[in-house]
Structure 1
Amino acid sequence: MTGERGARRPGRALTALLCAVTAAGLYGCSDSGPPEPSPVPTTAPATTSPPATTPAPATTSAAPTGRSPFTGLPARPAPVLAVKLDNVQAARPHTGLGAADLVYVEQVEGGVTRLLVVYSSRLPDLTGPVRSARESDIALLGDFGRPALAYSGAQSALNPLLKAAPLDLVTEGSAPQAFRRSADRPAPHNLYLRPARALAAAPGADDARDIGFRFGPAPAGGTTVESSTVRYPAARYTFTWSAADRAWRVAMDGREARATDTGPVRPATVVVQRVTVRPSRFHDRFGAVSPYSETVGSGTALVLRDGRAHEARWSRPTAASGTTFTTPSGAPLAFAPGQVWVLLAPRA
């Protein structure tokens, strides 16, 4: 495990409060403040190797003690930190992406995407570039209990919803010691987070808990695939199976996805979760309406693991419940142990 971990903290029960949006305003997209004098290094210190990838047994229940409910790999209980990352070309390559347990892909204004990365098993020394939160993040994180959420800012009308949600919020204003600016990139793509300091500033963050994922042997069937592409209005992701890595190689807009500290990103499981992407009541500073990805409900999905694609169904009855993935016959669909990417893709 890299980086310092905060002192262990007991979990806190989920406080149910996901309120409707009642106001509109402008996103503060630059989310910038005065830069710190010391820059983020172009190459961050390498993280240690992940825990041994001993396959988890097939199960229809939560991950057993000693394994992460997010990856199925051996892990100690630890607080959850979610970080909102920029993902336009100027923000790449990212830092700290390889250490994430989960990576969510969300559509934002203009049809581009941002990443919501989730850490618990490991912490990198740095992660970024960090950008602003969106309304969709509140419901998406509802089944994590009370995680810490680090982001660069939000429009004024969204702030009351974020503060009312079961989240430990970490921003430059609340925890300036957890952030730093890089001299290597222009604003707003130059804000980076020190995850250990972020968790130290979020004493109420819950430990990792069951969010509905199951890990174990692959289900029967599926279709052999060499690569699979997911398209957003202004973004494209391609996942190519690498037998040598026993993982998927990731390309964003035609270029290999790499982390400055750990190199190429290699998730073990990729989930293309088809969701309704509708306009929200919010818009950015240029007047573009912010999309809202509905993660409560049900729908179809495609699960990529072990070089095969499996048709699936997803279900999440409430924002406080986990998301389950099943085969067309209704049996739990197990993921391959390792990093998981979930792309919240528009329904066809």
Structure 2
Amino acid sequence: MDTERGPSRRRGSRGRHGTAAVAVVTAAMLALSLFGCTDSEPPGPGETTTPAPERSTSPFTGLPAAQGPVLAVKIDNVRPARPHTGLGAADIVYVEQVESGLSRILAVFSSRLPPQIGPVRSARESDLELLRQFGRPALAYSGSQSALKPLIEAAPVAALPQGEAPDAFVRSDDRPAPHNLYLLPERALAAARDVSDSSDIGMRFGAAPGGGRPLAEHTVRYPSARYTFTWSPERQRWLVAMDGAAARTTDGGRLTPATVVVQYTEVRPSRFSDRSGSVSPYTETVGSGTALVLRDGRGYDARWQRAAPDGDTVFTDAAGERLNFAPGQVWVLLAAR
């Protein structure tokens, strides 16, 4: 089961029955008259009280959630890596193009942490710019090529590669390497330092905007991958399919985001390449462009804008008004213009 971040309160112990209870009640009434009501035990000598986390609304999903640290995980997405684990608990799921036209996932967690997440794979240069809008998040990944390491070290992320946080990763024997590496998120965050809590990154949630058009299904294509989103009136969610097969998780069933954003942007060659010599694409996430927002069985033409690397990504409608997402998990597919 997912660990949902929520408040906890420590209750005071009750008195025993019998004659002694009269004295206890009398003393308690006197204490209350002097110091006021409380439902927590007073701190002992040398102890301090720690306030429970306040439960508010997640800026990533629009649902009730306690403020918590941001953990981003780079997840494998070729066929041998499926089904995924823990992906249904993510607040935001980003899809990026990688070498050979394939895709990879960068999942952002804050509201809930599943027991395991994966399979985990290596980071890319584009991840660093994309994550700057989250402040200083933790970034868990299997590793990276040596030429990219200086950029990761200079970026505002709490880097958690397998080599530096070995206790936070485990291997599974149910599939072959390299598609069998999984993250233990609680251990990962325990190993991270100075991680930012969730905060506003520009998303807005609320009632459906006017306009749009009925849209029962939409497919997003990459050179060697495709994603299809089919609206389910029964679930009031979008059912995800990857490369023609229903996308399920090992721990939560079908993947069903509430909002899907197709963000059209520039995807250009970077100066990095993989071991086979294939050039790594670089996906621009600072700038502006068009987008398609899917919610409630409708499609909305939109625009996106992010003025600076540490700025918010804002989605607006044709009139320039902020466009509300449906509360729940959000998928953002970064697609070439």
- Alpha-carbon displacement from aligned partner over 1:90-133 (angstroms, at most 9, x marks no partner): 00000001100000000000000000000000000001000000
**Unaligned residue ranges in structure 2 (runs of 5+):** 6-53
Cα distance between partner residues in 1 of 2:3 and 2:260: 27
Cα distance between partner residues in 1 of 2:173 and 2:3: 22
Q: TM-score, normalised by structure 2?
A: 0.84
Amino acid at match of 1:83: V
Task: Classify 1:203/1:277 alpha carbon distance in 2 versus 1 (closer, same or farther; 3 Å).
Answer: same
**Aligned twin of 1:2:** 2
Amino acid at match of 1:128: G
Q: Secondary structure at the match of 2:129?
A: helix
Matches within 5 A, 1:215-254: 215-254=205-244
Cα distance between partner residues in 2 of 1:167 and 1:4: 23
> Superposition RMSD on alpha carbons, in Å?
1.3
Cα distance between partner residues in 1 of 2:208 and 2:132: 28
Amino acid at match of 1:212: G
Cα distance between partner residues in 1 of 2:321 and 2:205: 13
Cα distance between partner residues in 2 of 1:102 and 1:2: 16
Q: Segments of 4+ in structure 1 off by > 4 A? A: none
1:3 is displaced (CA, Å) by 4.2
Cα distance between partner residues in 2 of 1:204 and 1:102: 21
**Aligned twin of 2:120:** 130
1:319 is displaced (CA, Å) by 0.7
Is the Cα–Cα contact under 8 Å of residues 258 and 330 in structure 2 kept in the other structure?
A: yes
1:4 is displaced (CA, Å) by 9.0
1:191 is displaced (CA, Å) by 0.3
**Aligned twin of 2:100:** 110
| Bigger CA radius of gyration | 2
Q: Secondary structure at the match of 2:318?
A: coil
Question: Aligned match of 2:269 in 279, 288, 295?
Answer: 279
Cα distance between partner residues in 2 of 1:125 and 1:180: 12
Matches within 5 A, 1:60-209: 66-209=56-199
Percent of residue pairs identical: 67
Cα distance between partner residues in 2 of 1:4 and 1:73: 12
1:160 is displaced (CA, Å) by 0.5
Cα distance between partner residues in 2 of 1:77 and 1:198: 18
Amino acid at match of 1:89: R
Higher relative contact order (CA 8 A, sep 6+): 1
**Unaligned residue ranges in structure 1 (runs of 5+):** 6-63
Q: Secondary structure at the match of 1:158?
A: helix
Q: Secondary structure at the match of 2:150?
A: helix
**Aligned twin of 2:318:** 328
Aligned length: 289
Cα distance between partner residues in 1 of 2:275 and 2:112: 36
Is the Cα–Cα contact under 8 Å of residues 278 and 293 in structure 1 kept in the other structure?
A: yes
**Aligned twin of 2:333:** 343
1:207 is displaced (CA, Å) by 0.4
1:203 is displaced (CA, Å) by 2.8
Q: Secondary structure at the match of 1:261?
A: coil
Q: Secondary structure at the match of 1:75?
A: strand
Cα distance between partner residues in 2 of 1:197 and 1:81: 11
Is the Cα–Cα contact under 8 Å of residues 83 and 247 in structure 2 kept in the other structure?
A: yes
Is the Cα–Cα contact under 8 Å of residues 120 and 208 in structure 1 kept in the other structure?
A: yes
Q: Secondary structure at the match of 1:141?
A: helix
**Aligned twin of 2:43:** none
Q: Which of the pair is proportionally richer in helix?
A: 2
Cα distance between partner residues in 2 of 1:172 and 1:104: 21
Is the Cα–Cα contact under 8 Å of residues 81 and 148 in structure 1 kept in the other structure?
A: yes
Cα distance between partner residues in 2 of 1:3 and 1:251: 26
Is the Cα–Cα contact under 8 Å of residues 4 and 196 in structure 1 kept in the other structure?
A: no
